[in-house]
Amino acid sequence: MEASELLQRVKSNLIITFEDDDSLIVSYIAAAISYAEGFQHVGSGFYLSHEMGETTKQGVVMLASHFYESRDGGTAGFFAQSAAASDQAMRTIDSLLRLDREWKV
In a domain, 104, yes or no: no
pLDDT at 72: 67
pLDDT at 105: 62
In a domain, 30, yes or no: yes
Its domain, for residue 31, covers 3-98
Counted domains in the chain: 1
- Give the residue from 14, 8, 9 showing the smallest Cα distance to 65: 14
Digit-coded pLDDT (tens) for 34-45: 999 999 999 999
Digit-coded pLDDT (tens) for 48-104: 999 999 999 999 999 999 999 887 665 555 555 666 777 778 888 888 888 888 776
In a domain, 50, yes or no: yes
Return the higher-pLDDT residue of 86 and 25. Answer: 25
Digit-coded pLDDT (tens) for 4-14: 899 999 999 99
In a domain, 57, yes or no: yes
18-23 average pLDDT score: 96
pLDDT at 85: 74
In a domain, 105, yes or no: no
Helix pair 54-69, 83-98: axis angle to 10 deg: 160
In a domain, 103, yes or no: no
Return the higher-pLDDT residue of 17 and 84. Answer: 17
User: Does residue 64 sit in helix, strand or coil?
Assistant: helix
